[in-house]
Chains A and B, each alone.
Chain A
C-alpha cells in the first residue's frame, strides 16, 4: 500500500529554508563579503562562526534587508532581493540584532508590542504576547518597567521574546552570548535549542564557537568575508584548525604572559 504515498511527493525534510549564494556586500568601496554561499535547512540550527570583522553581521543584515548586496538570498522560495527590512519580518524572518537592540526607554510591554507594528490581527497578537510571556515568565513581572532597567540576561530574553512575537519560521541571532556571564550563556543556548525543538529554524552567528558548534547541526567558518570551512557542528568541533583558531587550543601566541 505504498502507492498513496508515492502519488504525492513527500515534503523533503532536508530542503533549505534559507539559501544564500554568491553574497557580496560593499561598504564605501571596502568589500566585506566576497561571495558567500550557504544554506539553512528547515528545522535545524545552523551556525556561522568567525572573529570580529569576518562579516557575520553583514550576512545577517543582508538577509534582513538592512544592507544592499549582490548575489541571491532566497527564503522559502522567495527571492528577498530589494525587499525592505520592515517587510522581511512579515515573511517570517526575525532577527535579534547585535547588542540586543532593546528600546531602553520604553517599557517591556511596548518593546514586545512594537514587534507587531504592521499587524492588525489583534486576537493573534494577544496569543503571541501570551505565548512569549509563558516562555519568559520574568518578562511578565517586568511588563511595566523600562527595558533599560532590566539585567543583561533579562534584556537578552526580551530581545528573543520580541523576535518570537512575529511567529517567525527563521530566527536570526547575532551573537546572543555577547557580554553575558557563562551561566547566562548556557541559559540562552538552552532557550535557543528549545525554540528550535518547537519548530523554529535558527541561524546563529557567534564568536563563542564552542557553544555554537555544540548545538548546531551544520556550521560554517567565516574568515575575512569568505567561508573557509563547512561541516556538521560535531565535525568542526573536532577540526584542528577550528580548535586552534576559535576554541582556545594551545597556541604559541597564547603563552605570552598576562
Chain B
C-alpha cells in the first residue's frame, strides 16, 4: 500500500503540469478569498504572513544554505526595505495614486536593500564563517541604531498610520515571482558557483568560478528579496519601528530556514509555512482556548497570569526550537533535497540513474 502510494506520489511530482497548475489554482484562490470572503480576516492575515515568511526564508537560504555562510543581517535588510517603501508611500507618492504606485515603492524597498547587500558582500571576500556572522550581526545593529537615531523618521517611536496596501493576491504574486527568481538563480551556473563556494572556496577559484561576483550577486539577490518582504510586511502591519526588525526577527527567519532544511527551496517553503502556523497555534489565547476544557478548579487556563507567562514562554520556546533543530536535525525537513517540480528537467533526467526513488537531491548538472 505504502509502495503504491509512493509510486503515485513520484509520478505526480514528475508531471510537468503540476507546478503551473498549483500556481494557477493558488492565484485564483488568492483573488477569490478576499473577494468572496471565503475565510475570515484572521486566517487571511496568517496566509499573507506565510507568504512574506516564504520570501524571507527562501532568500536567506540562498546565503545560509546554498552558500554555507551564516548571515544574521536579514532583518536589517527587511528594515531597509520597509522604511524605504513606507517613506515613499507616505511622503513622496500622492495618496490618490496609492494602489498603482505601491508596487513601485515595494520595488524601491527591494532595490535599496540590494544596494546595502553589496556592503555586506564586500567583507565576505575576506572573511568567512564565524567572522562573517559577526559582521552581519554588526550590520543588523547598525541599521537598527541608525533608524533609532534619525528623528525625522520617528526614531525609536517608529512610523504609524501606514495605509494597509498589502493584499493577499499581491503577496501571492510577489512570493511566486521571487521564489521563481531564486530557483532559477540556484539552478543557473551562478547557483552552481554558489554551491561550489560552500564546498571549497579555493577549489572554486581554481575551477574558474569568479567567487567575488557570485558572492555579490547572491548577497544582493538575497537582500533584494528581504527588502521586498519588509515593504510588504510594513504595509500589512501599518506600523513599523526599529524594534520590529531586531535580532528576534532574524532568529525567526533562521528557524524557518533550518527547520525546512538548508539548500532547499521546497524546504524553505515548508519551513516558513509551518513556522507561521506554529506561531499562531502557540499564541497564548489559542493555547488557553485549547486547554479550556480542564475543570477550572484544577487549573484555570484563562487565568491572566498564565496567559502572560505563555507569551513569555513563546519567546523561549522558539529560539529553543532553533537550537534543537540545529543540534539534532541539522538537515531539517528537506535539507539538500528539493521537490522534483523545482529541479530543471535536464538535471532530473541526468540524476535518475543514480537515485531510483524519493525526493531528489538538488541539482545534478551545470547549465549547458
Measuring CB to CB, which residues of chain A are less than 8 angstroms from any residue of chain B? 64-66, 84-87, 89-90, 94-95, 97, 101-107, 109-110, 113-119, 122, 125, 143-146, 162, 166
Contacts and interface: CB of A to CB of B under 8 A. Distances in A.
Given A103-B195, A117-B189, A146-B361, A95 B210 contact: no
Given A86-B210, A110-B195, A117-B192, 7 more contacts: A65-B205, A66-B202, A87-B208, A103-B200, A113-B366, A118-B210, A119-B208
B211 interface: yes
Interface stretch (B246-254, B301-309, B347-355): B347-355
Main secondary structure of the interface of A (DSSP, over half): loop
B208 A115 contact: yes
A110 B192 contact: yes
A86 B208 contact: yes
Nearest to A166: B208
Interface of B: 189, 192-193, 195-196, 198-200, 202-211, 336, 350-355, 361, 363-366, 368
B211 A86 contact: yes
B208 A117 contact: yes
Contact of A103 (B189, B203, B355, B364): B203
Contact of B205 (A86, A90, A146): A86
Nearest to B200: A101
A109 B202 contact: no
Contacts of B209: 86, 114, 117
> Closest 4 CB pairs between A and B?
A144-B354, A101-B203, A113-B366, A103-B199
Nearest to B209: A117
Contact of B206 (A97, A106, A122): A97
Contact of B192 (A85, A102, A113): A113
A117 B198 CA distance: 16
A101 B206 contact: yes
A95 B200 CA distance: 14
Contacts of A109: 350, 364-366
Contacts of B355: 144
B205 A66 contact: yes
A102 B195 CA distance: 12
B208 A107 contact: no
Instruction: Give the residue among B207, B209, B210, B336 with the most A Cβ atoms within 10 A.
Output: B207
27 contacts: A65-B205, A66-B202, A85-B205, A86-B208, A86-B209, A86-B211, A89-B207, A94-B206, A97-B206, A101-B203, A102-B203, A103-B195, A103-B196, A104-B199, A107-B364, A109-B350, A109-B364, A109-B365, A110-B363, A113-B365, A115-B208, A116-B208, A117-B193, A117-B209, A117-B366, A144-B352, A146-B361
A114 B206 contact: no
Nearest to B198: A105
A53 B235 CA distance: 59
A114 B207 contact: yes
A117 B205 contact: no
B361 A101 contact: no
A110 B364 contact: yes
A115 B203 CA distance: 10
A117 B207 contact: yes
Contacts of B205: 64-66, 84-86
Contact of B366 (A64, A110, A166): A110
A89 B366 CA distance: 18
Contact of B203 (A65, A84, A97): A97
Contacts of B363: 106, 110
Instruction: Give the residue among B206, B209, B368 with the most A Cβ atoms within 10 A.
Output: B206
B364 to A, nearest CB: 5
A169 B208 CA distance: 15
Contact of B336 (A66, A105, A166): A105
A85 B364 contact: no
A196 B199 CA distance: 29
A91 to B, nearest CB: 10
A110 B208 contact: no
